[in-house]
Structure 1
Amino acid sequence: MAQKRMSYEQADTLLYYLQTIPGVESANVYDRTADAAIRYSCPREVVIQALRSFHYDEVETPEGVIENSGRELNSRYQEKLINKILFHYGRKFLLPAPIRACYTTVMSAKYIWKGVKTLWRRKIEVPVLDATAIGVSVFRGDINTAASIMFLLGIGELLEEWTHKKSVGDLARTMSLNVGSVWLKQADGQEVQISANDVKLDDQLVIHMGTVIPFDGTVVAGEAMVNQASLTGESVAVRRAEGSSVYAGTVVEEGELTIQVKSVGGSSRYDKIVTMIEESEKLKSGVESKAEHLADRLVPYSLGGTALTYLLTRNATKALSILMVDFSCALKLAMPISVLSAIRQASTHKITVKGGKYMEAVSEASTIVFDKTGTLTKARPTVAKVVSFCEKSEDELLRIAACLEEHFPHSMAKAVVNAAKEKNLSHEEMHSKVEYIVAHGISTTIATKKVIIGSHHFVFEDEKCVIPEGMEQRFAELPEEYSHLYLAIEGRLAAVICIEDPLRPEARDVIKNLKKVGFQKIVMMTGDSDRTAKAIAAKVGVDEYYSEVLPEDKASFVEKEKSKGRKVIMIGDGINDSPALSAADVGIAIGDGAEIAREIADITIGADNLEEVVILRKISDGLMKRIHGNYRFIVGFNAGLIALGVAGVIMPTTSALLHNTSTLAIGLKSMGNLNI
C-alpha cells in the first residue's frame, strides 16, 4: 500500500475489504510493512480495480470486526517475546557478574515465594519443583543455571498465555452473535422486520420462541423460559417476565418476550463469550485434565528422587540433574495448546467447537443420529406447489402461510417465506398473537378466524380439522414425493403446501465415509411419514431409521443408546431437535438452522457440506493421536534426561537446556495444524 505506516485499524479494515471482493479466496495484511498478500481465483484485473477504488473511510466494517480482531494482541505478545529475549541476552553479555548475580537472586524470589505458598497449602506441585531447582542453583552460586531456568520458564509461560488468548479469541469470534434482522415493535403495536444494525437504544424488540436475544435489555411485556447456557454454562432455562433483565446471546426456549434495548454494542457479547470460555471447564478434555494431574502427581517423585540420589551419591550435581527436568512444564503447555489449535483448525472448516472435551467425545463416539429435514436433505427446501382446498387462490393461501411462518426458524418455514418473496406476495401482519407448538405447528387468529399450519398429526389429530366435502379425491392424489404442510382455517383444510426437500448430493458419500472413520451405527430420525423416511433411508444407506417421531422420542433414543455404554452424536437443525442435542454426548447443529439449536449444541457446522462431519471426526482423531504422542515423547525424553544426569553423562545446565528446549519445541509443534 502507498503509505509508510499502517495502524491496526487500517490493517483490519483493508483485510475485511479484501475478503469481500468476489473471487478472493484468502488475504493477509501486514501492518508493520503496510503490505498485503492476496490469493484469488478471479481475473487479476478485478483485484487491481478493487484496490484502485479502495479508501479506508468508505469501508463500513461490521461492529466488532476491528475491536476484536486479535491483531493488536498478536503484536503485543510478539514485542513481549522479543523484549524478553533481548533483555536476557543483553544482561548476560553487558552487565558485570556481581550485578547480574544480584538481579538473578532478586528475580528468583518470585518463584521461591510461589513454591512456599504452594507448600503452605499442603500441596507438593509444580511451583515447589521450580522453586527448589532455582533456589538450589542460587544457593550453590550457579547463577547462570538459575537465570536460564527462569528465562525458559518465562518464555514458556508467555507462549502458553499468548497461544491460549489467541485461541480463545479466535473461538470467541466464531461464536460471536451474528444477527441479521430483528422484529421491531412500533408505537401502533405492529411488528416490522428491520436490520439489527438499525436498532437504537430504548427500541422495543419482539423475541419469538426459538430465537436468540440480540441485545441486552429489559423485559417490558410477555413471559418466557430463557436458556442462558451460552453465558452461564447452566443449561436449565430460567423464567423471565416483565421487569427482568435479559442478555445478548441467550435464547427464548418457550414463550415470547418484548424487550427494551439497553445496549447495542457488539463487544459486550464478545467479552462475555471470552469470559465464559476462559472460566468454563468445557475447554478441558479428559486426557488434557489427566495430563495436568499427572504433572502435579510426578512432583513428589522428582523431589524424592533428588533427595535419594544425593543420599546415595553425595553428589549435588547429579541430584540437581533430576530437579532440572520437570515433566509438568511440557505436559501443561503442550496439552492445552494441542486442544485449542485443533479447535482453531476446525474453525477454518466452518466448524465451531465449544470445548476440547467435545472433540474427545467425537473421537470416541460409535453412534451418530441424523435428523432428516435440513440435515440429510438440503438446508434450503423449496415450495413445489400449493394445492387449494377452498375458494381462496393459491397465491392468497401462500401469503397467509408466509405471514405465519416468517416468525419461526425452521427450514420448512423458510421455504414458505422464500416462495412468497419470489412471487412478490407482501404479507403485512394481519394476525393476532402467534402460538408455536414445538414439532407440530403454528396457531393464530386472522379476522376472528382460527388459522393453523403444521403437520398431519397436528392438523387432523390434535386440532380435529376436516377435509372439505368433495375434496377427498384431491387429497388422496397429493404427490407422494413431497413433504406436506397443512393449512386449515376454522377447522377445515384450506391448503396443502408441497415442499420439495431434496437429498443433499453428498449425503450418501458422507454416510459411507462416516462408516470408514469408525462409526458403528448410523441412524436417521424424522417427523415425516414412514413412506418418505423409508425412501430417504434407502438412498443414503443409514443402518436404522425412525419416522413420525416427536422431540421427546429423539431424546429418549439418545438416552437409550447411552445406557448401552455407547457415546452418541446427534445432528439436527430445528427447535424440535434441541432436547436430543442436549441429551447427546455431543450435539451438532447445522449453521443456518434454528438459533436455539445452535446455542444448545456443543458444535456447529456450516450448512454448505455435510462432509464437515467427517472432517470433524478426522480432526478429533488427529487431536487424540497428537495428545497421546506428546505424552509418550515427554515422559520418554525427560526420563532419558534424568537417567543421563544421574549417570553423570550430562551436566544439570545441559539437562535444563535440553528439557526446556524440548518443552518449547513440543509446544510450538502442537500449535501447527493436524494432518487429516
Structure 2
Amino acid sequence: MRFVIKHEIKGRLRVHILQSRMSFAQADTLQYYLDGQSNIVSAKIQERTLDVTVVYTGSREEALKTLENFTYQGTEVPENYLANSGREMNREYKDQLINKVVMHYGIRLFLPMDIRSVITTVKSFKYLWHGVKTLAKGKIEVPVLDATAIGVSVLRGDYNTAASVMFLLGIGEILEEWTHKKSVGDLARSMSLNIDKVWVVSDGQEILVPSTSIKPGDLVRIHMGNVIPFDGTVTDGEGMVNQASLTGESVPVRKIPGGTVYAGTVVEEGELTICVKENGGSSKYEKIMTMIEESEKLKSSLEGKAEHLADKLVPYTFLGTGLVWMFTRNVTKALSVLMVDFSCALKLSMPLAVLSAIREASTYEITVKGGKYLEAMADATTIVFDKTGTLTKAQPTVADVVSFNGQPAEELLRIAACLEEHFPHSMAKAVVREAARKELVHEELHTKVEYIVAHGISSTLNGKKIIIGSYHFVFEDEQAQIPEGRQELFDQLSEEYSRLYMAIDGKLAAVIYIEDPLREEAAEVIRQLKGLGIGKVVMMTGDSDRIAKSIARIVGVDEYYSEVLPEDKAKFVEQEKQAGHKVIMIGDGINDSPALSAADVGIAISEGAQIAREIADVTIGADNLQEVATLKELSNALMERIHKNYRMIVGINTGLIILGVAGIIPPTTSALLHNTSTLWISTKSMKNLLDREEA
C-alpha cells in the first residue's frame, strides 16, 4: 500500500493513502488487516478522507512495514465481517445529522420569509398527521402535543418557532433510530464463528471447501488446535476436546468414534473426523444466536422511559394551557405554556446520554449492546459468577508437587516436564510452564514417549519405566503401587486440587497438584460491587464441591453452588427474578449461555466461548474483572445523570411557563429559551460520567 505520512508522534502515525477513493469494503478490509497485526494497538480509518490513524507498539519502522505490506487482494476477510461491519450505516446516519443541521440553518439564513413559511407549513403536515392518528386511537400523548405546538405556531405565523420545534424533534428521531440500529449491528458483528473454510473428507481425500457449502451427513476433518464448526458425531480418529466453554470442565474430554461433539469446542490434541449433524444455520449453536437476534431484547427501555414520562406530562401541559386561557382570556399567555413542551429535551438528551455512556464504556474495553442493560445494571441487586474462566483464569497451573519416593520435588517436576513437553494438552503445558518458571533444565535422556489418549503418557528413563496420568491410568490400568509407609501421606492429599500421578517402575513417585488459579482481583471486585449496591453475590460452577467451597471462601461470595448443569444456572436466575431481584450473570462458556440469556444483564468475558459473547448483553475484556465494577459504577452514574436531567428539564421548563403566564416573556422567547436549554442539557449529557484515573 502506498501512502504519505501526515503526522506522527511516538507510538502513533497518521497517514494518507494514495488512491483516488476508498469504498466501504476496502476500508473494512484494511481495518480487518490492521486489527489482526500484533504490533498495531488500534486503527481508525476515515474512508472519506483516505486517512488512517494507527497506534502501535515496537519500532516505527515495523509499523510502517506493516502498512506497506497491506494489499486488498492479499487479505482474506470473512464475509460476515464485511456484511455486518456497520461502517456504511454509521456514515449514513452521520450524513443525515449533518444534512439536517445544514438544511435547517441554511434555510433560516439564506431564504426569504415567504419561502421559509411555505417550507415550514409543508413540513408540519407530517407532525399534524401523527397527532391526528394518536388522537384517533383515543390517546393524548407526545405526538398530539407536538402537533398542537407546531400547528398553533403555523396558524399564528410564528414559523421560526415551528421550524425549531420540528428540527429538534427530527434530530431526536435520527439519534434514537441510530442507537437502536447500532445496538443490533454490534450484536450481528459478534454472531459468527468466522470459520470460512473446512476440510471435507471425500473418497479418502481432504478437500478445503467453504463452510457454507456443508450439508448434514458430510464428513469434516478437524485437526489439532482447530475449532469444531458444527455439531456432529465422531466417525474416525481419537482426540482430546476442550469443552471448558461447553461444560465448565477445565480438563479436556476424550472423544472416540460414536462420540458427540459440539460447535464452538476445540480439538486440543489428536484429530477427529465428524459426520455433520446439522449445518451452520441450524445447529444448536446457531439456533441460540438466531433466537437472540430475532428477540426484542435490544429495545432501549431508557428511551421508552423518557417517552413515557413525556407522554404522562402531555395532559398536564394541555390542562395548564386551558387553565391559563380560562383565567386570563389571554391567548399569548396560554400559548406560552403550549410552546414549552417537555418532550423535546427528554427525547433528545436521553439518546445522547445513553450513546455517550456506551462510548465511554468502550474506552474501558466494555462493549454494551444497548442502553437497556446500563439501566438494568444500575438497578441490579444480585450478581451470579461462573467460576471457571470468570473468577478463575481457566489456565491450569501447578500448585505443588508431593514426593512419594524421597526425591526432591523439583527433580520430580523436572522429570515430569521432560516427558510432558512432547504433548500439547493443557495439564501437560502447566507442568512444562512450572518447570520453566523454576528454570529446571533437562536433557532428552528418555526413550520415545508413548501417549495413551485420555489416560496419560509412558516412557523409559535410565532404564526405568515412567508413567504420568490420571488415577485410573496409573493405579488401575498400570497397577502402580503406593510406596510402603506412604499410605497415610496419600490419604491426606489435599482435596482442593486436581491431580496428576507419576509412577517410576510401578511405584508412585509424585503427585502433582493442578489448580485453576483465582484471578487476583476477584475478591476486591466483589467487595467493590457490594459497595456499589449489589446485595447478593453468588458463584455457580460445574466443578466439585471441594474446589467450589475453597474458591467461595477466598473471594467472599454470599452463596455458592457446585456441580450444577447449565439449566440449573438459568433456573436460579429465573428464581431470583421471580423474587423481584434484577440479576446480573457473568460467564465465559457455552454452559453459561442459558443463564446469560435469562439474566437482566448477561456479561461475557471477551476471551470466552463465542456463543457466550453472542448471547451476552455486555462483553468485558479478559484481563481484569475490575471492568465489572467499572460498568456498575458507570451505570449508576448514568442513572444519576438521567434523573438529574429530568429534574433540570422539568425545573427549567416550569420556570419558563411561569414567566410566560406572568407576561414577563412572550411565547417566541419561551420557545427560544426552551430550545436553548434543550441543547445545553443535551451537550452536558455527552460528557464523561467517570474520572478515568479513578475508574
Normalising by structure 2, we get a TM-score of 0.69
Separation in 2, partners of 1:340, 1:455: 52
Separation in 1, partners of 2:24, 2:590: 41
Q: Report the counterpart of residue 267 of structure 2 in structure 1.
A: none
Separation in 2, partners of 1:565, 1:142: 51
Separation in 2, partners of 1:185, 1:420: 35
Separation in 2, partners of 1:29, 1:359: 29
Q: Report the counterpart of residue 152 of structure 2 in structure 1.
A: 136
How much does 1:119 deviate? Answer: 0.9
Once the two structures are superposed, what CA deviation does each residue of 1:355-383 show, in whole Å capped at 9, x if it has no partner?
Answer: 44433333233343333332222132257
Separation in 2, partners of 1:92, 1:288: 30
Once the two structures are superposed, what CA deviation does each residue of 1:501-554 show, in whole Å capped at 9, x if it has no partner?
Answer: 22223223323333443434434444545554454344x341446474333765
Separation in 2, partners of 1:624, 1:655: 29
Aligned equivalent of 2:353, options 338, 341, 354 = 338
Separation in 2, partners of 1:377, 1:171: 26
Residues 1:594 and 1:262: Cα distance change in structure 2 (over 3 Å): closer
Compare 596-605 and 470-479 and name the one that shifted more: 470-479
Query: For structure 2, which runs of at least 5 residues remain unmatched after alignment?
Result: 1-15, 236-262, 265-273, 403-414, 437-443, 456-468, 502-507
Query: For structure 1, which runs of at least 5 residues remain unmatched after alignment?
Result: 223-247, 250-255, 388-392, 403-412, 432-440, 442-453, 488-493
Q: Report the counterpart of residue 641 of structure 1 in structure 2.
A: 656
Aligned equivalent of 1:186, options 194, 198, 201 = 201
Between the aligned residues of both structures, percent identity stands at: 56
Residues 1:205 and 1:352: Cα distance change in structure 2 (over 3 Å): farther
Q: Does 1:258 align with 2:271?
A: no
Q: Does 1:79 align with 2:98?
A: no
Q: Report the counterpart of residue 214 of structure 2 in structure 1.
A: 202
- Letter paired with 1:75: R
Aligned equivalent of 1:617, options 611, 632, 637 = 632
Aligned equivalent of 2:59, options 34, 43, 51 = 43
Q: Does 1:483 align with 2:501?
A: no
Separation in 2, partners of 1:596, 1:497: 33
Q: Secondary structure at the match of 1:306?
A: helix
Separation in 2, partners of 1:649, 1:189: 91
Residues 1:161 and 1:486: Cα distance change in structure 2 (over 3 Å): same
Mapping of residues 114-125 of structure 1, within 5 Å: 114-125=130-141
CA contact under 8 A between 2:198 and 2:211: conserved in structure 1? no
How much does 1:297 deviate? Answer: 1.6
CA contact under 8 A between 1:201 and 1:263: conserved in structure 2? no
- Letter paired with 2:134: T
How much does 1:31 deviate? Answer: 2.8
Q: Report the counterpart of residue 226 of structure 1 in structure 2.
A: none
How much does 1:15 deviate? Answer: 3.6
Q: Does 1:542 align with 2:556?
A: yes
Once the two structures are superposed, what CA deviation does each residue of 1:189-216 show, in whole Å capped at 9, x if it has no partner?
Answer: 99x9x99x952513547799xx99968x
Aligned equivalent of 2:674, options 659, 666, 671 = 659
Once the two structures are superposed, what CA deviation does each residue of 1:593-632 show, in whole Å capped at 9, x if it has no partner?
Answer: 3455445544333322211211121121122112212211
Q: Secondary structure at the match of 2:73?
A: helix
Q: Secondary structure at the match of 2:45?
A: strand
Normalising by structure 1, we get a TM-score of 0.70
Q: Report the counterpart of residue 314 of structure 2 in structure 1.
A: 299
Q: Does 1:91 align with 2:103?
A: no
Separation in 2, partners of 1:548, 1:347: 33
Aligned equivalent of 1:670, options 685, 688, 694 = 685
Q: Does 1:100 align with 2:116?
A: yes
Mapping of residues 201-350 of structure 1, within 5 Å: 201-203=213-215, 204=218, 258-259=276-277, 261=279, 276=294, 280-285=296-301, 288-350=303-365
Q: Report the counterpart of residue 508 of structure 1 in structure 2.
A: 523
Residues 1:152 and 1:328: Cα distance change in structure 2 (over 3 Å): closer
Q: Report the counterpart of residue 458 of structure 2 in structure 1.
A: none
How much does 1:135 deviate? Answer: 1.5
Separation in 1, partners of 2:568, 2:123: 63
Report the count of equivalent residues: 585
Q: Secondary structure at the match of 1:589?
A: strand
Separation in 2, partners of 1:498, 1:100: 81
- Letter paired with 1:82: I
Once the two structures are superposed, what CA deviation does each residue of 1:115-161 show, in whole Å capped at 9, x if it has no partner?
Answer: 11111111111111111112112222333333333233323323433
How much does 1:642 deviate? Answer: 1.6
- Letter paired with 1:483: Y
Once the two structures are superposed, what CA deviation does each residue of 1:80-129 show, in whole Å capped at 9, x if it has no partner?
Answer: 33333333344345444444333332222222111111111111111111
Compare 149-158 and 625-634 and name the one that shifted more: 149-158
Larger Rg: 2
How much does 1:300 deviate? Answer: 1.6
CA contact under 8 A between 2:172 and 2:351: conserved in structure 1? no
Compare 414-423 and 601-610 and name the one that shifted more: 414-423
Residues 1:527 and 1:83: Cα distance change in structure 2 (over 3 Å): closer
Q: Secondary structure at the match of 1:28?
A: strand
Q: Report the counterpart of residue 381 of structure 2 in structure 1.
A: 366
Residues 1:618 and 1:414: Cα distance change in structure 2 (over 3 Å): farther
Separation in 2, partners of 1:202, 1:549: 36
CA contact under 8 A between 1:14 and 1:56: conserved in structure 2? yes
Q: Secondary structure at the match of 1:618?
A: helix
Q: Secondary structure at the match of 1:508?
A: helix
Residues 1:571 and 1:72: Cα distance change in structure 2 (over 3 Å): closer
CA contact under 8 A between 2:164 and 2:675: conserved in structure 1? no
Q: Report the counterpart of residue 246 of structure 2 in structure 1.
A: none
